[in-house]
Amino acid sequence: MRSALIGVVLLAVVATVVTATTGVVSTVIGGDGNTAQAARTYGVCNAMMGVWPKGGTDQSQRDVRTLGEESLQIAAMIITIGRERNLPPAAWQVALQAGRQESGLRNLTYGDLDSLGIFQIRGMHGSVEQRLDVRWQINWFYDTLTRIKDWERMRPGDAAQAVERSAFPDRYHRWEGMAVQLLADLGKVEDPTGCASAPPPSEAAAKAISFAMDQIGDPYVWGGNGPDAWDCSSLVQAAYRAAGVTIPRVTYDQWLAGAYIPLEQAQPGDLVFYGNSSNRWLIHHVGLYVGNGEMVEAPYTGAAVRKTTVRVWNDLIPYVVRPGV
């Protein structure tokens, strides 16, 4: 059964060429010359991974070298179908991480209870024939993923967990580098994370900073909306409103209000967050970065709006949000 399915995969992947001269797979998929467009559709910046080094990392390359022929064919099919469906490479990455964790990117005829296939799909979701059909499985995964609200804003491993609902939710993160390596090698996505060419802050950033600086000395009041008292999220909302940019009122919604950028690449006007990026409901504080390692914030009850050093506490999220881009 599995060898027949592999043949189907090979027929479906057009113009696929695999070489291993340096131990890293180099595959061209589709032959449509559309790789630049694929790179652009990845998104603004998947900062959860940081800037991807040219050629990948030693670990990501080792992980790709461990994949057998069947796994590489399935990875190629995941990318090909993702491209056919006009899904961004971020979706391909989620599927690659899920498939690697669930089956080693193999079309397994066995699994826990009645689970089968690449993604160990349970019997409630399809027949045995469907759950062993490579194309059906990949489309099922993409259908399920795209029904998840804000999946594009999640770390890829968290999005994989949202589809798979595993008892071991953190294990998908292990394959993040491998998946990005496959995007680069098989999908020919030159800048998989998009962070190497992240958009600059908008012109509104300077106006937002100016507004926030003018509020220094105003008291912190939980739920305060100005004009003379603020909490952390109302301050940054008002700052950007004064600059003509609308962002949400509360901190965990502001996490969704712009492009993600690695913290080390923060520019004046970016939003600095504290909490848990894997669960936005646990994000509890925000400040407005002003440069030189400093931010303006409305800190806590009994204190006033102030300019202060960005504090490197355990819950400082290592990505900022860039509104208005």
Q: Cite the active site residues.
A: 232, 285, 297
> What 3-state DSSP class applies to 55?
coil
Distance CA 150, CA 91 (A): 12
Q: What are the backbone angles phi and psi of residue 55, rounded to the nearest 5°?
A: 90, -10
Query: Cα dihedral sign for 113, 79, 319, 215?
Result: negative
Nearest to 206 by CA among 266, 257, 268, 265: 268
* Distance (Å, whole) CA 244 – CA 93: 35
Nearest Cα residue to 71 out of 47, 34, 35, 103: 103
Q: Which residues pair with 121 in a beta bridge?
A: 116
Handedness of CA 110, 112, 117, 121 (dihedral sign): positive
